[in-house]
Structure 1
Amino acid sequence: MTEPLPSKAQLRRSLRARRVELSRADPDAARRAADVLPLEDLPAFASFAGYYALGAELDPSPLIRRLSDLGGLFALPVCEGPDTPLIFRLWDDRDRPVPDAMGVPAPPPHAPEVHPDLVIVPLVGFDRRGGRLGQGGGHYDRTLEALRAHKPVFALGLAFAGQEVPDLDLEPHDQRLDAILTENGYIPVERP
């Protein structure tokens, strides 16, 4: 008899605990991930978005520095409400971050809004088909859907290699990643 698949909530709990263990065991993973990114595999971009790492999320700072060196404008997400897509505002390190609607540090309201060409996406779990398990609020699914309705947007998942799962059960609204970057390498996603 086969074991029933865990629910998304159960899988999320398990992967969050794993992510905490991975972050404690490998504090240098974020730098190694940034170092192994093959820049030639990325599409051209004028602007890109990162995220403010919360808890044990893999810190995107080394990757952001590497991408900034290419000359792209850097933005951070801003949540304006629980069921809305994120918006992105340019980040100027002279500004003081302000908490957004979810309490996450974000650029202030006067920062210009941009529609990034490349989005570094945090995650709880991923599979090699570009499936992503997020925090459960649907913010990045709504955001990527809204951005992709206007232009191509490359979604780069950033995670510890140990956050990989064999196969995520995706729903129609789930937005796939275009690639995943871990401390062990770059995983391009083949489109069906």
Structure 2
Amino acid sequence: MTDLSADLVLQKQKLREKLRFRRKHFAANLGAMARLAAFRVLPAPLAELLAHHAVIGAYAAWGDEPDILPMFADIAATGALALPHHTARTDTMVFRRWRTDEPLEKGPWGIQQPLNEASLAAPSLIFCPLVGFDRQGSRIGQGGGHYDRYFAAYPDALRIGVGWSVQEIDAAPRESTDMTLDAVLTEQEFILCGDRL
């Protein structure tokens, strides 16, 4: 690792800590009712976009992440929703189909995921959690690179980050392996970041 890339990793790590703190306090101060009300209805442009995709990727919220699964209840009921899945901490992230009436289990990272026997899927539109973002589509994730590797393997899949508005920063530091987002959805707005949507 060069000094430049080591500095960038350290910069992202410090920024990640700051943004996690910001997210935690924002979510706590929202209050239970306001937090439950956020991310319950798809904005009109997104609802129209989802109609053109056979399988949608989403995630089960962890900690202070926005809980978006209620927003996709109708899609999940039809079997057109898929969630990230890990068999072990060392494996590659995949997506497995999940319906609202099916159980979720705790994966190796402590995050709820579909059961191992759920069908594999390759979503063409993916909603992913984030720790930080900027309006150019740069995303700061948890630091494991799971989503970036998945996005690199499936570059045609549209990528929409999901976070609270307080997670926005002016410019996120970028590594060569970081994949940009096509849009970001917050509790306040839907931000287009590129020209693929």
**Normalising by the residue count of structure 1, what TM-score does the alignment of the two structures yield?**
0.84
In the alignment, the residues of structure 2 paired with residue 159 and residue 60 of structure 1 have an alpha-carbon distance, to the nearest angstrom, of: 10
Q: Which has the higher contact order (CA 8 A, sep 6+)?
A: 1
Deviations 1:82-136 (A, max 9, x none): 4543101111334332232323221112111000011110000000010000001
Shift, 1:22, TM fit? 1.2
For the pair 1:92 / 2:99, whether they are aligned, the reply is yes
Q: 1:184 aligns with which of 182, 185, 188?
A: 188
**In structure 2, what residue type is equivalent to 1:136?**
G
Q: Contact 2:57/2:82 (CA < 8 Å) preserved in 1? A: yes
For the pair 1:42 / 2:52, whether they are aligned, the reply is no
In the alignment, the residues of structure 2 paired with residue 176 and residue 41 of structure 1 have an alpha-carbon distance, to the nearest angstrom, of: 22
In the alignment, the residues of structure 1 paired with residue 136 and residue 38 of structure 2 have an alpha-carbon distance, to the nearest angstrom, of: 23
For the pair 1:11 / 2:15, whether they are aligned, the reply is yes
After superposition, the Cα gap between the structure-2 partners of 1:138 and 1:92, relative to the gap in structure 1 and judged at 3 Å, is: same
For the pair 1:175 / 2:179, whether they are aligned, the reply is yes
Aligned residues: 185
In the alignment, the residues of structure 1 paired with residue 190 and residue 144 of structure 2 have an alpha-carbon distance, to the nearest angstrom, of: 26
Q: What percentage of aligned pairs have identical amino acids?
A: 33
In the alignment, the residues of structure 1 paired with residue 74 and residue 26 of structure 2 have an alpha-carbon distance, to the nearest angstrom, of: 23
After superposition, the Cα gap between the structure-2 partners of 1:175 and 1:84, relative to the gap in structure 1 and judged at 3 Å, is: farther
In the alignment, the residues of structure 2 paired with residue 36 and residue 99 of structure 1 have an alpha-carbon distance, to the nearest angstrom, of: 27
Aligned residue in 2 for 1:119: 126
Deviations 1:1-38 (A, max 9, x none): xxxx9811111001000001111122425644454622
For the pair 1:54 / 2:62, whether they are aligned, the reply is yes
Q: Contact 2:132/2:141 (CA < 8 Å) preserved in 1? A: yes
In the alignment, the residues of structure 2 paired with residue 159 and residue 107 of structure 1 have an alpha-carbon distance, to the nearest angstrom, of: 22
Aligned residue in 2 for 1:164: 168
Shift, 1:72, TM fit? 7.0
Stretches of 4+ aligned residues off by more than 4 angstroms: 66-69
In the alignment, the residues of structure 2 paired with residue 89 and residue 145 of structure 1 have an alpha-carbon distance, to the nearest angstrom, of: 18
**In structure 2, what residue type is equivalent to 1:145?**
A
Please, which moves more after superposition, 26-35 or 55-64? 26-35
Structure 2: tracts of 5 or more residues without a match: 1-7
In the alignment, the residues of structure 2 paired with residue 45 and residue 35 of structure 1 have an alpha-carbon distance, to the nearest angstrom, of: 18
Q: Contact 1:29/1:183 (CA < 8 Å) preserved in 2? A: no
In the alignment, the residues of structure 2 paired with residue 186 and residue 125 of structure 1 have an alpha-carbon distance, to the nearest angstrom, of: 15
